[in-house]
Amino acid sequence: MSVSEILDGKLTGKEVEIKGWLVNKRSSGGVQFLIIRDGTGLIQATIHKNEVAPEIFEEAKKLTQESSLTIRGSVVEDKRAPGGYEVRISELKIVHLAPGDYPLAKKEHGIDFLLNHRQLWIRSPRQMAILRIRAEVVKACRDFLDDRGFVLTDAPIFTPSAVEGTTTLFEVPYFGDKAYLTQSGQLYVEATIATFGKTYCFGPTFRAEKSKTPRHLTEFWMVEPEMAFCGFEENLKLQEEMVTYIVKTVLDKRCRELEVLKRDIKPLRKVELPFERISYTEAVEMLQKAGFQIEWGEDLGAPHERYISLQFEKPVFVHRYPAKAKAFYMQPDPENPNVVLCADLMAPEGYGEIIGGSQRIHDLKLLEQRIKEFGLPKEAYEWYLDLRRYGSVPHSGFGLGIERTVMWICKLKHIRETIPFPRTITRVYP
RNA sequence: GCCGCCGUAGCUCAGACCGGUAGAGCGGCUGGCUGUUAACCAGUCGGUCGUCGGUUCAAGUCCGACCGGCGGCGCCA
């Protein structure tokens, strides 16, 4: 029996047993009000002095915030109770009596304090809601891809070299040698598509960049689908279908959590196919008209992304960036070799990039040339070049940042709340 | 890496401009209250003012360095 079933009205009038933690206790002398969390929701439980054995009433008096307990009682509908339902306690057992110095007060805290107590902070209703939505987003990604015949082929965390250069990687000792924490599983799913056709990896990725912004973590999760015999347009189509599916799933299954977050869901309801599309060149013109100092050839910065994102009600693809601003493996546009067949998907409401994707170079000679142009060590990429030697095919893929997606769907001001234990440039504890 | 802001009670902050030995609310604890909604009421405990150095008769307050954190930019998902 769970609190969520009580709140859904399924157990009204029934006897229930709830196992959980004491969120808060109020008393009016003869009546004690216990707010209990069981992992599925919060419920008020009441104890009346003249309705229970004196020792139960006294036991309840001892309860401190976050003590764990088991209660039995009957469920009644009562407008005075938060959530509209409450449990009238007949039996109560303290599982563990916490000391009366729970660090998190019921009032406000600073972010530094909260992050230092993340292990307790995640018990709060708001954090519960965010983490539940995160779990739903992850499940939606996997269901979507699994249902379309993608095979999960996870990429290694320890890697011998960078995907796009070595400066941003965490270096770790590896039995007298050096290894790096992965920055992306993309190169590896480019290999597994020759095994299964359509594959994806899903796992943590690491960036040692000293990015100090509300949208960066040093450790974050990406889902990276890759498709053989797939061109640029087909790739975009999969992306917009997947993002639409994710948003619809969360709206469908996690509306209670969105309510806890006071998330206005009207903008989310507008996420429908097809998404908007503008070229990089059009984006630059749009920005210049709006007064931004930007020249063709420069990559888009955070204020640029924010502006573009705010011009559309739906997610928008910005495609065909200058080749020099993007990664070495991206396929040049046959109609204009100065740009590559890539697209970043900008979430609306000012959130900016949540997906980066592209068609990959499948021609061996061109790829070798690009590795040279980018000053990358060819030896490290020999295995990757093999994929162009033995049965190379046009192929495309993308990476969707889980935390950025959750941040947008929950409309959060900072990405650090989207993951149970965030790792940022200033924080590896707890 | 760059620019800006902040470190005072367990927490959130005031006191700093104008130097004279520290205050509130919340939390904790004790007591009261038979329907509370971050309950309320009364009482009570609680501080080497981030660290080091300097100026001064006197520094939480002025000056310098350092440490820690936050916000924005850059880089990126």
The predicted model gives A175-180 an average pLDDT of 90
Average pLDDT over every residue of A29-55: 93
Whether residue A181 is found in the same domain as residue A86: no
Is residue A399 one of the residues assigned to a domain? yes
Residue pair A247/A136 in contact (Cβ under 8 Å)? The answer is no
* pLDDT tens profile A211-227: 999 999 999 999 999 99
Indicate yes or no: strand B within 7 A of the C-beta of A134: no
Whole-number Å distance between alpha carbons of A125 and A54? 32
Q: For residue A323, what is the domain's CATH number?
A: 3.30.930.10
Nucleic acid strand B: bases within 7 A of protein CB: 1-2, 10-13, 25-29, 32-40, 68-77
Question: Considering chain A, what is the average pLDDT of its residues?
Answer: 93
Neighbours of A253 (CB within 10 A): 14
CA distance A221 to A419: 9
Give the pLDDT score at A162. 58
The gap between A118 CA and B22 C1' (Å) is 32
Q: Using the CA of A167, which nucleotide's C1' is the nearest one?
A: B75
**A320 contact to strand B (CB, 7 A limit):** no
| CB of A399 nearer than 7 A to strand B | yes
Determine the Cα–Cα distance for residues A159 and A179; give it in Å rounded to an integer.
6
Same domain, A87 and A208: no
Residue A101 lies in a domain: no
Are A58 and A194 within one domain? no
Residues A284 and A409 in one domain: yes
pLDDT of residue A178: 86
Strand B interface, A 16-45, C-beta < 7 A: 24, 26-31, 33, 35, 44
Q: Are residues A62 and A186 in the same domain?
A: no
Query: pTM of the entire structure?
Result: 0.95
- Phi then psi dihedrals of residue A245, to 5 deg: -60, -45
Q: Is A50 (CB) below 7 Å from strand B? A: yes
**Domain co-membership, A11 together with A126:** no
> What domain count does chain A have?
2
In a domain, A393, yes or no: yes
Residue A399, beta-bridge partner list: A356
A358 lies in a domain? yes
Same domain membership, residue A160 and residue A84: no
Please report the sign of the dihedral spanned by the C-alpha atoms of residue A218, residue A219, residue A220, residue A221. Answer: positive
Residue A260 lies in a domain: yes
Predicted ipTM? 0.90
Where a domain ends, among A96, A129, A161? A96
pLDDT at A50 over 60: yes
Average pLDDT value for residue range A131-155: 97
Q: How confident is the model at residue A205 (pLDDT cuts 50, 70, 90)?
A: very high
Q: Closest nt to A219 (CA→C1')?
A: B77
pLDDT tens digits, one per residue of A88-102: 999 999 999 998 888
Q: What's the confidence (pLDDT) of residue A105? A: 73
Residue A209 and residue A329 in one domain = yes
Which residues lie closer than 8 Å to A170 by C-beta, 6 or more apart? A180, A181, A206, A208, A218
Question: Is the pLDDT score of A167 beyond 70?
Answer: no
| List of residues 6+ apart from A162 with CB closer than 8 A | A168, A169, A180, A183, A376
Q: Which CA distances in Å does A301 have to A326, A353, A359?
A: 13, 10, 23
Which nucleotide is nearest to A23 if distance is taken from CA to C1'?
A: B38
Asked whether residue A243 is assigned to any structural domain, the reply reads: yes
If asked whether residues A71 and A123 sit together in one domain, one would say: no
Q: Which of residues 168-227 of A touch strand B (CB under 7 A)?
A: 168, 184, 207, 209-218, 220, 222
Q: Which pLDDT score is estimated for A287?
A: 94
CA-nearest of A235, A355, A264, A248 to A305 is A355
Nucleotide nearest to A25 (CA to C1'): B36
What radius of gyration, in Å, describes the C-alpha atoms of chain A?
A: 26
For strand B, is any atom closer than 7 Å to the CB of A58?
Answer: no
Which tens digits make up the pLDDT trace of A233-269? 999 999 999 999 999 999 999 999 999 999 999 999 9
Q: Does A404 contact strand B, using a CB cutoff of 7 Å?
A: yes
Q: Is residue A92 located within the same domain as residue A125?
A: no
pLDDT band at A377 (very low <50, low <70, confident <90, very high): confident
Assess whether A343 (CB) lies less than 7 A from strand B.
no
By C-alpha to C1' distance, B26 is nearest to: A107
A201-206 average pLDDT score: 96
CATH of the domain at A59: 2.40.50.140
Residue A69's domain comprises: 3-96
The pLDDT of A173-191, averaged and rounded, is 92
Joined tokens for residue A363 = 């021609």
Identify the sign of the CA torsion A417, A420, A424, A429.
positive
> Residue A106 domain-assigned?
no
Q: Is residue A359 domain-shared with residue A214, that is, in the same domain? A: yes
Q: Is the CB of A66 under 7 A from strand B?
A: no
- Contact between the CB of A327 and strand B at under 7 Å: yes
Q: How far is the CA of A317 from the C1' of B42 (A)?
A: 63
Among the three residues A96, A126, A158, which one is the final residue of a domain in this structure?
Answer: A96
Whole-angstrom Cα distance, residue A91 to residue A72?
5
pLDDT, position A365:
97
- What single-letter amino acid sits at A130? I
Q: What is the dihedral of CA A35, A38, A40, A41, to 10 degrees?
A: 0
Domain for residue A77, yes or no?
yes
pLDDT for res A104: 86
Is there a single domain that holds both residue A124 and residue A54?
Answer: no
Q: Does A54 sit behind a cis peptide bond, omega within 30 degrees of 0 on the bond before it?
A: no
pLDDT band at A80, cuts 50/70/90? Answer: very high
What's the Å distance between residue A231 CA and nucleotide B20 C1'?
A: 78
A180-CA/B71-C1' distance, Å: 31
Give the mean pLDDT of A387-398: 97
**pLDDT, position A237:** 97
pLDDT for the residue A130: 96
Is the pLDDT at A364 greater than 90? The verdict is: yes
Predicted pLDDT at A251: 97
**Could you tell me what percent of chain A has a pLDDT over 90?**
83
